[in-house]
Chain A
Amino acid sequence: MNWDDSMPMVSIKDVHKAFGDLEVLKGVSMDIKKGEVVCIIGPSGSGKSTLIRCINALNDIQQGSILVEGQEVNDPHLNKLELRKKVGMVFQQYNLFPHKTALENVMMAPIRVLKQSKAEVEKTARALIKKVRLDGKEDSYPGELSGGQQQRVAIARSLAMNPDVMLFDEVTAALDPETVGEVLLTIKDLAEEGMTCILVTHEMNFAREVADHIYFTDRGVIVEHGSPTTFFDEAKDPRTKEFLSQIL
């Protein structure tokens, strides 16, 4: 591929997506550069989840183009597996595999999908679990962990695939207020290490703190976007202003 670091890591152009008659995305465009942290905010049902699920082809799109490292996602001959090795995703509901321990959850994909050696994977998996501050919980099953702990295992599980981009879909929305902080801290660490992150979030303070760029979506279009300071302090569109006044 003739793609290099200076070009956008993820380039979304005029994406349209409908579920049956329901048009959810009506021409969305955004570019995310390598190492950038982008937050997508917006009211419920505005298509945020749908958009980021299109990036790793969990949803297909009807029109437009999504390039991930120069590779077209909206292509019937797309090798989804290769795409998903590059794009990690963390869900609102953690979705850990309940029949496997935390360590096994992290180790499974690199062994089975990337065919790496078990000993090597175990070493990186233990390091990752330490990195998300869960040392000592390696052998716990998801059912024995708190929501915040499970979510951090889920982040470690995604990182074990060594992705180039991470997608986070409201990863703190299902958590108790006390545990939200620990998960956000983990994501902040990642962002500071230069991981390219696309986050859907309702945590405005967090977005202001870590994001390089903020997109506000409403009813399937991007209403406004900009750096955190311009976005939060100088919002122009009335819809943005109304949303911010409700949430802040």
Chain B
Amino acid sequence: MSQSTYNGFNSRKNQQQYKTDLPVMITPEAKVPGSLTSSLSAYIFKPWHGFMLIFFCIVSSSIAFGVDENAKSSIPEVLWRWMPLLLKGFMFNIVISICAMAIGTAIGAVLGLGQISLNKWVRRFSWIITQFFRNSPWLVLLFFAMFLLPFEIKIGGLSIPLPDWVKAIIGLSLPVMANVSEIVRGAVVSLPSGQWEAAESLAYTRRQTLWLVILPQCVKRMLPPWMNLYAILTMATVLASIVGVSEVMTLTGQALAAEGGRTDLLAPFYSFVLLIFFVYCYPIARWTVRLEKKFSVIG
């Protein structure tokens, strides 16, 4: 490595170390009245904005449609009646997301390590699988899982049924797997090569280097993108409604149908679905940002 790279590395490191207390290092927070940055910062999205927006949707549409249709029960009333079922459906979305995340993470981690294997064939195989599933539309993968997987698997005398929701989990875990694989590979290659060399010169085996030195440092680098992926996956679980899994979107559709297809119910119901997703995903996003900030300061 050249001298200048070292210097660059060094100054960056110092900056990080002193970031917290040196006012010049703090990113401009825009306190100058009337400046561009200050007027922009006024528009930064805050959590209560989101709630306000969605409540506004529900309430305004309730009022707009609710006033003149006194013959039927009022919109809040209908929504309240269906709420337990919708929430139950949403729990199902969460279950699907957690299971798909768990499976995708487990296999993806193996694939990611495969991508940095010393064996050329393992490396190529893992790379191809990763690229293939990372660049396929999630919905297409879901359809594939739905229609290619059998409805039950026979192992010996035992037959394990594969209901649609299990197939959905498998289908969604494929893109998760590929993305986790990339997250793992990215984190490993982002570590300075000096870490490998130091471990090597201390007579660590490659395996020891990986497990004792490299991966422990990668975990914190991987956490923010991994949580990000989880939030995206959670929102993608509604795709399962297209293939008939009775998650929250499917149930919302059924509830609306049961109410006789009242058009005035559409906006409140779907706003409610938006709201529960927002309430679930927004804290994850905030937490991710916090972790990112924390890790970038520590380095």
The residues of A with any CB-CB pair to B shorter than 8 Å are: 44, 56, 58, 80-82, 84-85, 87-89, 91-93, 95-99, 108-109, 112-113, 143, 154, 157-158, 161, 173-174
Contact = CB atoms under 8 A, between A and B. Distances in A.
B276 to A, nearest CB: 38
Interface of B: 3, 6, 9-10, 17, 192, 194-195, 197-205, 208, 212-213, 216-217, 298-299
B217 A99 contact: yes
A114 to B, nearest CB: 8
Contact of B200 (A44, A58, A112): A58
B197 A58 contact: yes
A84 B194 contact: no
B197 A95 contact: yes
B210 to A, nearest CB: 12
Contacts of B192: 93, 95
Given A93-B9, A143-B299, A174-B10, A98 B217 contact: yes
A81 B198 contact: no
Nearest to A97: B213
Closest 6 CB pairs of A and B: A95-B198, A95-B194, A84-B203, A89-B201, A109-B202, A81-B203
Q: Is the interface of B mostly helix, strand, loop or mixed?
A: helix
Given A58-B201, A157-B202, A112 B195 contact: no
A93 B203 CA distance: 19
Nearest to A144: B17
A88 B200 CA distance: 10
Contact of B212 (A85, A112, A173): A112
Contact of A112 (B6, B208, B299): B208
B200 A113 contact: no
Contacts of B205: 81
B10 A161 contact: no
23 contacts: A58-B201, A84-B202, A84-B203, A85-B203, A87-B201, A88-B201, A92-B6, A93-B194, A97-B195, A97-B199, A97-B213, A97-B217, A98-B217, A99-B216, A108-B212, A112-B204, A112-B208, A113-B203, A143-B298, A173-B3, A173-B6, A174-B6, A174-B10
